[in-house]
Amino acid sequence: MSNIVDPLVGQIAARVRTERERRRWTLARLADVSGVSQAMISRIERGESSPTAVVLGKLSAAFQLSIASLLTSTEGTQDDSQDDAQSVAGVRRRTDTAEWRDPGTGYRRRQITGPHFPAEVAEIRLPAGARVPYPAAAFAFVRQVVWVLDGRLTFHDGDTVHELDAGDTIELGEPTERVFANTTDAECRYAVILTRGNRP
């Protein structure tokens, strides 16, 4: 059952369209680069469909942006000035942070840090039995740590599989295909901490 937060669907729509147009890409070009069909991209850009976590990962890889960036409104993506950073510093209430739900798996993602903070921190809730794969390109130009908070995460790092329990962390190396899987009968909650590396 999907419980989509409508404002986030609109933000994703605007962000995907903005990033595509900024690159002067056609729908066909984005479809070719991302592996997502033109029809699906068109529905996402019109706000008629919320992308799954897998589709979001493919789009973020095509744009060389983090998933968090695609969940951020276009107004929050301009160059950061010192004044902007100061204006958003301080307390962010739980009720002020929208939660995005993957309509395919029920995976839920809540962004902990704001768009001007130098690191991206997100809280993920992965339902029992859920499996979310990401292409290697989704991990390019970033440094990332996964920290399991509750439950157990089966993490496929290329050909290597790690069973991570509450309190365990993994620092990701070179980009490779990765899968976040919950093979248990209870929810897994984990945090993703990401900092931006150098672009080529």
Amino acid 4: pLDDT? 41
53-63 vs 27-34: helix crossing angle, rounded to 10: 110
Amino acid 197: pLDDT? 64
Amino acid 88: pLDDT? 57
**Cα separation, 116 vs 146, whole angstroms:** 21
DSSP H helices, the chain, are: 6-22, 27-34, 38-45, 53-63, 67-70, 82-88
Average pLDDT over residues 150-172: 98
CATH 1.25.40.10 applies to domain 92-196 = no
Classified as helix, coil or strand, 175 is coil
Task: Return mean pLDDT, the chain.
Answer: 86
Query: pTM above 0.85?
Result: no
Hey, what are 171's tokens? Answer: 């620092």
Q: Where in the chain is the domain with CATH 2.60.120.10?
A: 92-196
Residue for token pair 């991206």: 120
Q: For 1-5, 128-132, 172-176, which range has the lowest pLDDT when averaged over its residues?
A: 1-5
Amino acid 117: pLDDT? 85
CA angle 147, 75, 24 (to 5 degrees): 95
Residue for token pair 């490779």: 176
Q: Where in the chain is the domain with CATH 1.10.260.40?
A: 6-70
Amino acid 171: pLDDT? 97
Amino acid 79: pLDDT? 42
**Cα separation, 129 vs 194, whole angstroms:** 25
Residue 84 pLDDT greater than 60, yes or no: no
Q: Please give the CATH topology (third level) of the domain spanning 6-70.
A: 434 Repressor (Amino-terminal Domain) (1.10.260)
Q: For 26-30, 54-58, 187-191, which range has the lowest pLDDT when averaged over its residues?
A: 54-58
**Cα separation, 50 vs 59, whole angstroms:** 13
